[in-house]
Amino acid sequence: MSNKEVADKPWSGRFTESTDAFVEQFTASVEFDQRMYAQDIAGSQAHARMLTKIGVLSTAECELITAALEEIRQEIEQGEFNWRVDLEDVHMNIESRLVEKIGEPGKKLHTGRSRNDQVATDVRLYLRDQIELIDAELVRLQHAVLNLAEGEVETLMPGFTHLQVAQVITVGHHLMAWFEMLCRDRARLADCKKRVNIMPLGSAALAGTSFPLDREYVAQQLGFDGVSNNSLDAVSDRDFAIEFCAFAALLLMHLSRFSEELVLWASQQFEFIELPDRFCTGSSIMPQKKNPDVPELVRGKSARVFGNLMSMLTLMKSQVLAYNKDNQEDKEPLFDTVDAVAACVRVYADMVPHIAFNRNKLAAAVDTGYATATDLADYLVAKGVAFRDAHEIVGKAVRIAIDEDKELPQLSLAQFQALSAHIGEDVFTVLQARGSAESKNVVGGTSPVQVRAQIEAARRSLA
Ligand code: ARG
């Protein structure tokens, strides 16, 4: 086979036969890495300016390159760009088009650079952009949760442990628990971003380069916080992507918990909430159905996000230094994670403001299931009974109530006094759900006073 037939690839110099047609498809990543075109172009423009600064390119060449890259960006955005599988990936597609457009100067762009440091840089730039978008959506969701909590500060509901009625809480308090989880998610994301925003460019293939590159200058142009310290590590490191996937897995775990609650609360057995119609779907066979598809699907999306984290960890496990083609497999799980997270947070931020709490149902639910039993025990302790004895006494009262198919406030004073002489007429106040919630006036507790303080602090933290 003549060299002419294989000369169409940027690396074909040493090859004597063309790539097998299926291998070409098998090894190509352009189908999925083209989403990093903007980052690839920005990286190349910064690299070109730096090459000009150190005298590798003339100012005229630099202007030609950066302008042509700008045109290529437009071609891509207008859907006019011809993505070629034979050119493997986003990097070689753009570079080839550049050479096609401007000839010789385009061939100089790859000086002191390798696709290994180029791809690592592109992925970091892409992820940094996505982190910013996702964080903004998380803030929108946090505001939505805060607003909803504020409207339900006084609303009582049963709090559960083991999904059994435990104690009286406020809906605002429950929602603020969600808020706290989101705070931790955002803190993890911000921490991850610190390690994402380090520039590998200048590491070249693995060893660094003999050209006197000004890496700081490139990093500054691209908004990186710093440059990587070790070229071998920099071209092979995907920790930052794994950290993002770990953040995403925890976030989706939280969203799946919120979802599970929404699904339960919207059911005919609970009827605690009404989800807006436009966030639900019907059944093709059962006319009465209104299904909570959005929370269910968010709960379901957690599966692929957890799976992607495992894929990324397994991908990197046992890889020798430095770059290996395995690394190309980082993109699909990472991109899929980004897409799932962005969609789930967006749909939640859209839906949460429209969740309507059914206060009558909640009030009825709070008066069943002996939610104030612990308050009765605390009352006895205040009267001088040891907590263990108080627990025993209240347990007996609950037993009587169950046997008589009553709630605790329906027992007579005589029945209570038969269990303990310490019980007086004031017991009936203690058995009221509202008083129970209001009494939990400890920092972090469920009383409306505390929840208002939590909401105010939360608002300040978002401002
Ligand atoms: N498409 C490749 C990737 O995603 C780019 C780097 C290729 N480097 C190489 N030496 N083949 O990892």
Q: What pLDDT tens digit does each residue of the chain (463 aa) get?
A: 344 456 578 888 899 999 999 999 999 999 999 999 999 999 999 999 999 999 999 999 999 999 999 999 999 999 999 999 999 999 999 999 999 999 999 999 999 999 999 999 999 999 999 999 999 999 999 999 999 999 999 999 999 999 999 999 999 999 999 999 999 999 999 999 999 999 999 999 999 999 999 999 999 999 999 999 999 999 999 999 999 999 999 999 999 999 999 999 999 999 999 999 999 988 888 888 889 999 999 999 999 999 999 999 999 999 999 999 999 999 999 999 999 999 999 999 999 999 999 999 999 999 999 999 999 999 999 999 999 999 999 999 999 999 999 999 999 999 999 999 999 999 999 999 999 999 999 999 999 999 999 999 999 999 8
* Ligand 1 neighbour 89 (Cβ under 6 A): yes
* pLDDT at 287 (0 to 100): 85
* Ligand 1 neighbour 116 (Cβ under 6 A): yes
* C-alpha closest to that of 44 among 127, 130, 107: 107
CA of 327 to the centre of ligand 1 (A): 7
* C-alpha closest to that of 380 among 369, 367, 394: 394
Which atom of ligand 1 is the closest one to the Cα of 89?
Answer: 1
* Ligand 1 neighbour 121 (Cβ under 6 A): no
283 belongs to the catalytic site: yes
Could you count the other beta carbons within 10 Å of the beta carbon of residue 298?
Answer: 24
Domain ranges of the chain: 3-111, 116-363, 367-462
CA of 119 to the centre of ligand 1 (A): 7
162 belongs to the catalytic site: yes
Peptide linkage before 7 cis (omega within 30 of 0): no
Could you say which of 2, 162, 210, 412 is catalytic? 162
Give the CATH number of domain 116-363: 1.20.200.10
* Ligand 1 neighbour 118 (Cβ under 6 A): no
Q: Do domains 3-111 and 367-462 have the same CATH topology?
A: no
Which atom of ligand 1 is the closest one to the Cα of 29?
Answer: 1
Mutate to test the pocket of ligand 1, among 33, 90, 115 (most ligand atoms within 8 A of CB): 115
- Fold topology of 3-111: Fumarase C; Chain B, domain 1 (1.10.275)
Give, in words, the CATH class of 367-462.
mainly alpha
